Every structure is written in C-alpha cells, then in structure tokens.
Structure 1
Amino acid sequence: MRLLCLCLAWLMVGIGVVGAFLPILPTTPFLLLAAGLFARASPRLEHWLLNHPLFGTSLRLWREKGAISTRAKTGAVSLMAASFGLFCFFGNPGLPLGAIVATAMALPALFILTRPAE
C-alpha cells in the first residue's frame, strides 16, 4: 500500500507541475492530493512538499486554515474571466454553450472567492 501511495503521490506531483504551465489544468488540488498521499507513505516527502519554496506556502495555508491567499484568488478569478472572454471572442459560442461554459467557470470561481483569505 505504501508503494501505491508513493507512486500515486509522484503522479499527482507531476500533474501538478504540468498544471503550473497549462492554464486549463489546476496545480494546487493535485499537490494537495500528493501531500495527503505522501503523509501516508513518506513523512520526509510530505515535509519536502509542504516546505517547497514555490508551492509550500499555499499548501500549508490550505491545510492549516482552508484559506487561499488574496493574490492566488485574484489571479485565479482573473484568469477564469479572461479565458471566458477569449472563449466568447474567438469561439463565438451560441447562448446555450456560452451559458454552460459560464456556469462551469462561475462555480469554481465562487468556491475560490468564498474561502477565507490570508
């Protein structure tokens, strides 16, 4: 079971790192999963991830307080709005598709905005 958790954790880290470069793929949820899996399999790797210079602060903030930094909230919601604007401008969707995409983006944005800020 430990080996399975380690393999899955590294897979989540890989997907999270790819998500740092692809706007459609989130980073933090995958790294949170990785931290949880590392907690079961390797406290040393969990410690490494939670103290990572780039990702550690946001992971610890979420784990300890369920909070998202104001900067991360602003960036996430702004990129969602910009993505929707580009989708509408270049894709010229009809009303039904536009409404589906708007809802699909609004629900995560609402979740992000209702989390405590730190």
Structure 2
Amino acid sequence: MSKIGRKHRGSPATRGLLAGKSHISERPPEVNLRQEIGHYEGDTVMGPDGRHCILMLVERVTGYVLIKKLSARNAEQAASALARLVIGLRGRIKTITLDNGTEFHGYKSVQSSSG
C-alpha cells in the first residue's frame, strides 16, 4: 500500500510549470560572479506556525534584504508584494531570480508592469 500524495523519486513535479519562465542557467554570467550590485534572489518563508509568511528579496553582493509580510502564501499576494518592492527599487534592480514555487506564478504581471 503506497502513501497518497507522496512524490516519488524521479517523477516529474506536479505543482504546475511556469510557462515561459527562464531557467536559472539562463541568468547572465555577471549574476553568478557576484561582482555587480543589482541582482536579487526572491523567496517566501513560512513562520513556524504555518500561518504567517513573508516575501524576501536578497541582493546577491551586499546581502541587502527587503521583506514584505504576506497575508497568504499565494500567487496574488506574492505578485502584489513583489510589485511593491520593485517599485521601491526602481532603477536599481537588474535581475530578480525566483524559485519555482506556485506562489510566484504571477511573476509575469510584475515583469510587465515594471518595464
């Protein structure tokens, strides 16, 4: 008898794929070298109670961290918080690398609104 909902090793992810999202290997080389300021990585972090969630953007060279509290860990909340952070840094962000979590499925709306 197998466990229901358990991901089997080697099976494809079933959480939904982000169509059109660039793979991390397609980042410009200067991002990986960490010699140029303006390249950020984003992720969400859940609190220990499982109810609270924050969105973090970390600048790769300086370690500068931007944090926004989310009322829910979903694509709508993450896109809204990401847009607010991007507006605050207008002109200073060169790239943002996000993981493949379902909360970032709204990244295209942020990308198009930020130019």
TM-score bracket, normalised by the shorter chain, equals under 0.3
* Structure of greater Rg: 1
Q: Which has the higher strand share?
A: 2
